[in-house]
Structure 1
């Protein structure tokens, strides 16, 4: 039985990526593992929302996503397909290792998440969107998993600085 692990955050976008794979695997017994990757919440949200409320929101979000995806995957993949669902709570590199241990190292990984604006600007995504990760590049226990640190964008720094300088000049002139 082939195993395909798919990371999903948007049902419509994921359908476009999964559809060719589903047609290829429609005649075989295939196990699909849909991993819901909920949108990130800022660290500042902890002031206003409790941890249990955040977890509850993630669970509701994942249920809504799976309700959109499960009937479609079952119809596209055929009657011999089995679909499992997972909600990503751990960082994705750790989750990759756990899923490969659970479903076997031969599982095909597909990143069907909608690309973020940072990825469009040239930053390398961790898993290439829409492509299966080759078996030789799959992280093992001996290989360290790369950590990608994203810095917050500073799009308002220049206009704020200029506005501050103009205010200081205005005060100094008077």
Structure 2
């Protein structure tokens, strides 16, 4: 049986990234990685409330991911990430033996990659200056 650890935060994106099955049964270890909260949220929300939110968020993700995989006859183990991923990966690999690891999390848009849908703060000013110079 193939064993695959999948890190995910968006079910639709993860489904696109997950490999197809070759007819061989697969054991999926789905690790839900909840979105990070800002450091300022701790001022307003208790630790237990944050943990409850993470658990509810993970339940919604698993409700979208687990049934289709089980319908194919695959085994699924849902896990909620609560700490650093390298440590969790080592623990899961020790528990499940040698497995493949797939990071199917949606890339963050603030990682420096250009986003065509929005202007950067200085780009509008730069274009205005270029137009003014071109008119002269």
Common fold: TM-score over 0.5 = yes
The root-mean-square deviation of aligned C-alpha atoms, in Å, is: 1.9
TM-score by length of 1: 0.62
Aligned equivalent of 2:69: 73
Asked if residue 48 in structure 1 is aligned to residue 44 in structure 2, the reply is yes
The one-character-per-residue Cα deviations of 1:91-132 (angstroms, maximum 9, x if unpaired) are: 11111111111111x20000111010244529xxxxxxxxxx
Aligned pairs (5 A) from 1:1-174: 1-18=1-18, 21-24=19-22, 27-75=23-71, 78-79=72-73, 81-104=74-97, 106-119=98-111, 121=113
Segments of structure 1 that go 5 or more residues without pairing to the other structure are: 123-154, 159-174
The alpha-carbon distance between structure 1 residues 13 and 45, as it changes in their structure 2 partners (threshold 3 A), is same
Q: Is the 8 A contact 1:34 1:86 kept in 2?
A: yes
The one-character-per-residue Cα deviations of 1:46-83 (angstroms, maximum 9, x if unpaired) are: 100000000000000000000011112223xx22x210
Segments of structure 2 that go 5 or more residues without pairing to the other structure are: 115-119, 123-136
Aligned equivalent of 2:132: none
Report the count of equivalent residues.
Answer: 117
* Divergent runs of 4+, >3 A: none
TM-score by length of 2: 0.78
Aligned partner of residue 35 in structure 2, secondary structure: coil
The one-character-per-residue Cα deviations of 1:137-164 (angstroms, maximum 9, x if unpaired) are: xxxxxxxxxxxxxxxxxx88x9xxxxxx
Using CA pairs below 8 Å that are at least 6 residues apart, which structure has the higher relative contact order? Answer: 2
